[in-house]
Amino acid sequence: MPPNDLSQRAEALNARYRHHSATSVLSHTLRDPEAGALALVSSFGAESVVLLHMVAVAKPDTPVIFIDTQMLFTETLVYQQEVCERLGLSDVRVIRASDEALETTDPAQTLHRHDTDACCTLRKTVPLQRALQGFDGWITGRKRFQGATRASLDFFEVEDGTDRLKVNPLAHWTPDDIRTYMEENRLPKHPLVARGYPSIGCQPCTTPVAPGEDPRAGRWPGQDKTECGIHFVDGKVTRQGENA
């Protein structure tokens, strides 16, 4: 579909659902022909269970894409399996970089030590772009409060450089909304949250965060990097918020 047509479709969807709640946006969009075939991309991180639960209630056979970088915490892998079973999600797709790509680019598994951007591209961005082929759009957990680049985030937007939509049902939510939803629905928390990890990525590149620090301070500590690169704005990597 030509970009201008896709932009017009995003505008029409935003107008249609402008006054809807997050749960309403998600449940209606999953069945709206104008939105097309959608997948939820989830990191199964600290806040991911909110959207996973919404999807499970609205349409449990929605494809859920989970990127296993093969450098994740064991706790994340266990949590992913437990959440999927508990919520009854029936189409979970675990994706990874190909063996050939890993052998060619990172045979010693040390790429993250000297080029984190290249490591994220190899283990996250490329596998995700491959997995999203055939979908008209994907659902993210991005929110306006996560930074200046997201301050005017809409429910629907065009993914930069592609012919896909991004759907952001939680765009208008606050941290309190997230906590309240998890508590009211008795959703399981990622076990690392209680150990000081408010934002959880790959084990080599994630550290605990001290009280009062920015929640993202533990991601790629000591580097000018806070985003893996699967979200872009005007062709540039965004620098705030969770990846999915």
Q: Mind telling me the catalytic residues?
A: 228
| Burial status of residue 201 (CB atoms within 10 A of its CB: 0-12, 13-18, 19 or more) | buried
User: How crowded is the C-beta side of 67, counted as CA atoms within 13 Å?
Assistant: 27
Long-range contacts of 30-37, Cβ-Cβ distance < 8 Å, separation of 24 or more: 30/55, 30/58, 30/59, 30/62, 31/59, 34/9, 35/136, 35/137, 35/156, 35/165, 35/167, 36/135, 36/136, 36/137, 36/165, 37/134, 37/135, 37/136, 37/137
CA 18 remoteness from chain centre: 22
Asked if residues 156 and 10 have their Cβ atoms less than 8 Å apart, the reply is: yes
DSSP secondary structure code for residue 72 in this structure:
B
Burial of 113 (0-12, 13-18, 19+ CB in 10 A): exposed
What Cα–Cα distance (Å) separates residue 186 from each residue in 50, 118, 178, 229? 10, 38, 12, 32
Is the C-alpha dihedral spanning 149, 155, 157, 163 positive or negative?
A: positive
